[in-house]
């Protein structure tokens, strides 16, 4: 079983605030990813909606990531999840 999270920007989030916080978010992500608990993470390529998605190996890893992510800590995004994902491997 895998677990999915979705980040939605808050109503007051600005692009400038996201850009300013991104280096701290990325440093945190890079360090967290060393533990092997992130399967996939990123924004949607179509750019139609300003949200991102991450896939984790465990619900605990997803919760830990969200609890310490600078985007969440600074109130820039509203995290949804983790939700169990019934993925199929081929």
What's the domain count of the chain? 1
Counting Cα atoms < 13 Å in the Cβ hemisphere of 59 gives: 7
90 in a structural domain:
no
Q: Which domain holds residue 11?
A: 2-85
- How many CB atoms sit inside 10 A of residue 25's CB? 19
Residue 56 near residue 82, CB atoms below 8 Å: yes
Enter the pTM of the model.
Answer: 0.90
Mean pLDDT of 21-47: 94
Strand pairing report for 38-43 and 77-85: unpaired
Of 70, 72, 7, 77, residue with least CA distance to 42: 7
46 in a structural domain:
yes
Give the C-alpha separation, 61 to 43, whole Å: 19
40 in a structural domain:
yes
Task: Indicate if the pLDDT at residue 5 is higher than 80.
Answer: yes
Q: What is the pLDDT of residues 36-89, one digit of tens each?
A: 999 999 988 887 777 899 999 999 999 999 999 999 999 999 999 999 998 888
41 in a structural domain:
yes
Mean pLDDT of 6-31: 95
Give the C-alpha separation, 71 to 21, whole Å: 7
Which CATH number do you get for residue 14? 3.30.70.1060
21 in a structural domain:
yes
């Amino acid at each position: 079983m895998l677990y999915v999270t979705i980040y939605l920007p808050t109503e007051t989030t600005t692009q400038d605030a996201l850009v300013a916080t991104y280096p701290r978010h990325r440093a945190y992500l890079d360090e967290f990813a060393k533990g092997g608990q992130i399967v996939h993470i990123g924004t949607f390529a179509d750019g139609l909606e300003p949200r991102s998605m991450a896939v984790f190996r465990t619900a605990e890893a997803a919760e830990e990531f969200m609890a310490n992510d600078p985007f969440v800590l600074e109130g820039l995004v509203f995290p949804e999840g983790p939700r169990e994902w019934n993925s199929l491997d081929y």
